[in-house]
Chain A
Amino acid sequence: MSRIVDAVNAPFAPVRAYFRKHRSLGIFVGVVLLSVALPLLTRVPPFDGIQSTNAWVNAFTTAAIYAMLAMGLNVVIGFAGLLDLGYAAFFALGGYTYALAASPFSGIHLPFWPMLLAGGIVGAIFGVLLGAPTLRLRGDYLAIVTLGFGEIVPITLMNADKFTDGVNGIGGIDKPNIPGILQFTLINPWPMYGLVVVLFTLIMIMIYRLEDSRLGRTWDAIREDELAAESSGVNTVIAKLQAFAVGASIAGIVGVVNAAKITIVTPDQFRFAVSISALAAVVLGGMGNTIGVATGAFIIYLFQSILLKQLNTLVENFNIPILNQIDFLEFQYVLYGIVLVLMMLKRPQGIFPARRRMREFAPLKIGKGGLK
């Protein structure tokens, strides 16, 4: 079996070697190819029967937003080993930042592009504000503090009616535009798709470069053994704060994009469930592996929002008498829960584990060259 795989892979070896050397270029080419291939794929059966290409592109955009969120959370959890259960709070802060800066509710209409940056800065500031007093805590205690923060933010957004219009949220948020060239609209999903593809590429390149940087190695050291890292002269508090800030700023930026995409923000969009699904994506995708996490998030979103909803049609096609009686739509979240549990039982390291973690899970192998 592996011989066949090797034979298929052989012609690509030089290509792979090239992109291993120039990884940022590789990510760029890969994402661009994928972003062209996915819409084309929706034109062929069986995908074309499910929904229109525009609806598919819209779904891909949301899936990519979700994937970016998971990549950002992966910096905090997978790289630095800090369990953050309130990640949606930063997502919310980004979204509300843009909503307040560009909507009829506040009466201000600032352009989208600088706000993208502002969302990231707001996220980072709150990340540092939350992190500074709490990062001395370890493990589960940090998880609980972040969980508390994740609850406080939506409750505050809900109750501070004067500034956020409470439960109703802020609607009619401005769509981005490139003056004179392109105006984003709700009907045409393509410009937003393009924007998300570009942002996705940039964030992924940034995260990969961070992972290999001095800071990335610091995070490795802290995750594996905080005490040893500290004794080796690593300033763990600063490094952890940086992980928090990077993760939070990515969530803030993605929050701005999300607000601009759906043009409304409400406190309910940012409840605990969002933090949890991002966490599920990180763990299922394979903690610590950026591409794995992004792919995992992408697949989970599509599985949850499209495949599960299609089960009815799928079963009808097979014409199995008993199954036809069941409305699978009612079971979709039960199925999601079952998939989460089964995935963890069968493959606790995730679908695409990071190479380091893969080794941790593999049984010790003793080969020709001794202990490997």
Chain B
Amino acid sequence: MAAADVTSSSSSRPFANARLPFGIFAFLGLALFVLGIDQFVNALTLGAIYALVALGYTMVYGIIELINFAHGDVFMVGSFVAMFISSSLLGNEGAITNIPLLAGSVLVLFALTIGVMAIVGALIERLAYRPLRRAPRLAPLITAIGVSFILQNVIQFFFGPTIVTVPQLVPIEWSIEVSGSRVPLLNIFVIAASVALMFALQLFISRTRTGRAMRTTSMDRDASSLMGVDINRTIMITFLIGSGLAGAAGVVHGLYYGNTSFNLGFQSGLKAFTAAVLGGIGNTAGAALGGFLIAFIEVGASAFGYGRWGGAVVFSLLVIFLVFRPTGLLGSHSGDRA
């Protein structure tokens, strides 16, 4: 599911990993050239959000092979929790110009939202997925859909069916000059925070004992159980982390767009899921890569005046990709099933 699989799959394709960084840089350079700096930064920011959500999809799929349809809505709930904490608990109304106060507020906002969403995610797993661990494949898929219904409508009940504004804590005027264009600090902060979280996740999975338990569980659940891994605990931790990251994506979304609505989860969830598949489902680095790729496609489409077709392009790419390279960009442990 993680770094280990990348190395194991690359052993059969020795040049894959050497080519990859080059490919990414070439792509980024091309994108920067084609889109211009403003759109480039926009795409990176959107990509950070997609990538954070995609990580949750890919981790859950990697470990229990469930397409967690409720995950997009977990992201949506995260954005509402962030809104609630920011405006009601911390009493924010708009930008904070005092730097220590701003840093403190943002830190508290991230910590609380991630914590709350991690608990929500673990609860969902405990109530809706764990009882069905031995049931046929489709049963948890249906409960996931049920959970998605519940989350959407509970939020709609409390916050109404309209778009809700979220305080944008980082002042939008703050920006730096890059070759003649203004790049808002907000975007840089959002990208940096997301990338930091992704690196933390990567370290956690590859270095810690729990991370190793997650990798073994995703490879062979029964065997790792025999080796003394507590399967239920490991799966619950996977949900904790995945939902926490979705919560972080919710915070980022609120800070960046300044609004949210109860039906945010579905479309963005679908795109994040596409990102997870493009990168190679079950592969965390791939999910992040896929998230950025999809954002670039979407932003590119709207930059050239085909914004309405962005979704269609993304999904067509998904279909084409799956037909010709079902293991995704970076390959995955479940590739043999495709």
Binding site for B on A (CB under 8 A): 77, 83, 133-134, 137-141, 143-145, 147-149, 151-152, 155-156, 158-159, 272, 276, 279-280, 283-284, 287, 330-331, 333-334, 336-341, 343-345, 348-349
Candidates A143, A287, A341, A348; contact of B150 at CB < 8 Å: A341
Name which of B2-10, B135-143, B207-215 contacts chain A. Answer: B135-143
Tell me which residues from 42 to 62 in chain B have a Cβ below 8 Å from any Cβ of chain A: 61
B1 to chain A, nearest CB (A): 15
Please tell me which stretch of B182-190, B243-251, B309-317 contacts chain A, meaning at least 4 of its Cβ atoms lie within 8 angstroms of it: B309-317
Q: Which residue of A137, A151, A279, A343 is within 8 Å of B322 (Cβ)?
A: A137
Taking the nearest CB of chain B, how far is it from the CB of A343, in angstroms?
A: 8
Q: Contacts A138-B337, A145-B322, A283-B139 given: A155-B152 contact, CB under 8 Å? A: no
A139: chain B residues at CB < 8 Å are 137, 337
Give Cα A333 to B136, complex, Å.
25
The answer to whether B148 and A337 touch across the interface, beta carbons within 8 angstroms, is yes
Q: Which residues between 131 and 180 of chain B lie within 8 Å of chain A, taking CB atoms?
A: 131-132, 135-143, 145-150, 152-154, 157
B63 to chain A, nearest CB (A): 14
Q: B150–A337 contact, CB under 8 A? A: yes
- Give Cα A151–Cα B266 distance, bound, in whole angstroms: 12
Contact A140 B65 (CB under 8 A): yes
Task: State whether A151 touches B67 (Cβ < 8 A).
Answer: no
Q: Is the CB of A137 within 8 A of B323?
A: yes
| Number of residues of chain B lying within 8 A (CB) of chain A | 45
B137, B143, B319, B322 — most chain A CB neighbours (10 Å):
B319
B308 at the interface (CB under 8 A from A): yes
Cβ of A144: which chain B residues have Cβ within 8 Å of it? 67, 273-274, 277, 318, 322
Contact B319 A340 (CB under 8 A): no
Known: A138-B338, A283-B142. 13 other contacts (CB 8 A): A138-B337, A139-B337, A144-B273, A145-B322, A148-B318, A152-B316, A155-B312, A276-B145, A280-B145, A283-B139, A333-B149, A344-B132, A344-B146
Complex Cα–Cα for A338 and B148 (A): 10
Of residues 7 to 50 in B, which have CB atoms within 8 Å of A's CB atoms?
A: none
Q: Is the CB–CB distance between A159 and B147 below 8 Å? A: no
- How many whole Å from B148's CB to the nearest CB in chain A? 7
Is the Cβ of A331 less than 8 Å from the Cβ of B322? no
Most buried by A among B61, B132, B139, B266: B139
Give Cα distance in the complex from A133 to B326, angstroms: 12
- For A147, list chain B residues within 8 Å (CB): 270
Partner of A148, one of B61, B65, B274, B281: B274
Which 7 pairs show the lowest CB-CB distances between chains A and B? Answer: A337-B149, A340-B146, A337-B150, A341-B146, A148-B315, A348-B139, A348-B135
Say whether, besides A138-B338, A280-B142, A334 and B323 are in contact (CB < 8 Å): no
CA distance A196 to B170 in the complex (A): 59
Known contacts A141-B322, A159-B308, A341-B143; A348/B153 CB under 8 A? no
